[in-house]
Amino acid sequence: MSTFLQQLVNGHSLGSIYALLALGYTMVYGIIKLINFAHGDIYMLGAFWGYYVINQLHFNFWLALVSAMLFCALVGVVIEYLAYRPLRNSPRIAALITAIGVSFLLENGMAYMFSSNVRSFPQAMKVHQYHLGSISISNIQILILVVSIALMILLQLIVRRTKMGKAMRGVSVDPDAAQLIGINIDRTISFTFALGSAMAGAAGVMIGLYYNSIDPLMGMTPGIKAFVAAVLDGIGLILGAAIGGFVIGLLETTMQALGFSAFKDAAVYAVLIIILLIRPAGILGKKIKEKV
């Protein structure tokens, strides 16, 4: 039982990382109906940026976190402008293939420039362990959970209370109507990419601090799992993506607690298949009838 409870604690920390990544997937899909498979690699860039500024510029954790968010936001905007915007009116398969190509470009480009070796992430914060009976929780785990929830709340406020957030919601419902009432579609889409990429950058720095290791391929598997999290509760729904991230994190750690560590990834993908078979729109998603 103590092992199971410990894994639940670990699952919340891991789930918050998946939730931040899933938010990027779901926002971009909600706006332009694109699955941005390069999103996991932006998370990797955030981790490497944190590694660089902490080691070379001697930033503390908070400065590294904020600078990684700004850097990844800029990268997201550049990728959208160069790779996705020219294909906006093309068939969706063209944009999807381009997203996969951008993912491989980032992974192999980083491996070429910095080698594919695993690097130790600098410990920008001293680790303290707290014990609640047989359960152990570190200050890093608490930090990840608190920062992730704070960023999710901030994102929700931006989407619900700001002018740009209203524009995002308008474009997601009907881009043509939004353009007719004066909303700048290009600027709104770029802002969406910047917002989602900033979340991924924050997740990259925090996971580097948590696991103490980074490499150019570190974004591949978490990116796919975050996509599963976004689909789980209905891709395009911000609240659904956040909940889905925590569910996937808890599922992984529960499989480990039960002694099935080798099958934790398989369990995540099995959930995706089951959800797509039973509720293709996701648990919280609604079926939308399209007029022919």
Q: What would the pLDDT profile of 217-261 be if each residue is shown by its tens digit?
A: 999 989 989 988 888 877 777 888 888 898 899 888 888 878 888
Residues 6+ apart with CB under 8 A from 171: 31, 178, 183, 185, 188, 189
Lowest mean pLDDT among 79-83, 105-109, 239-243: 239-243
User: What mean pLDDT comes out for the span 141-170?
Assistant: 92
User: 261 with 53: CB under 8 angstroms?
Assistant: no
What is the mean predicted confidence (pLDDT) over 77-101?
92
Token pair in block for residue 203? 């997740």
119 secondary structure, DSSP code: B
Mean pLDDT of 263-285: 82
The reported pLDDT for the residue numbered 285 is 62
Q: What is the pLDDT averaged over residues 91-98?
A: 90
| Residue 257 confidence (pLDDT) | 79
Token couple for 56:
């070379």
Q: What is the pLDDT of residue 259?
A: 80
Top-level CATH class of 2-278?
mainly alpha
Question: Phi-psi category of 259—alpha, beta or left, where left has phi over 0 and alpha has psi -120 to 50?
Answer: left
Q: Largest alpha-carbon pair distance within the chain?
A: 61
Position with higher pLDDT, 199 vs 258: 199
**β-bridge partners, 138:** 129
Mean pLDDT estimate for the chain: 88
- Region of poorest pLDDT, from 51-55, 186-190, 259-263: 259-263
Among the listed residues 43, 47, 77, the one whose alpha carbon sits nearest the alpha carbon of residue 64? 47
**Residue 188 pLDDT level (bands cut at 50, 70, 90):** very high
| Mean pLDDT calculated for residue range 31-55 | 93
Sole residue written with tokens 């332009």: 32
Q: What pLDDT is stored for residue 124 in this prediction?
A: 85
pTM for this predicted structure? 0.90
- List the alpha helices (DSSP H) in 57-162: 61-79, 92-114, 139-161
Separation of alpha carbons 17 and 39, rounded Å: 13
Q: What are the helix and strand counts (H, E) for the chain?
A: 11, 2
Domain boundaries, the chain: 2-278
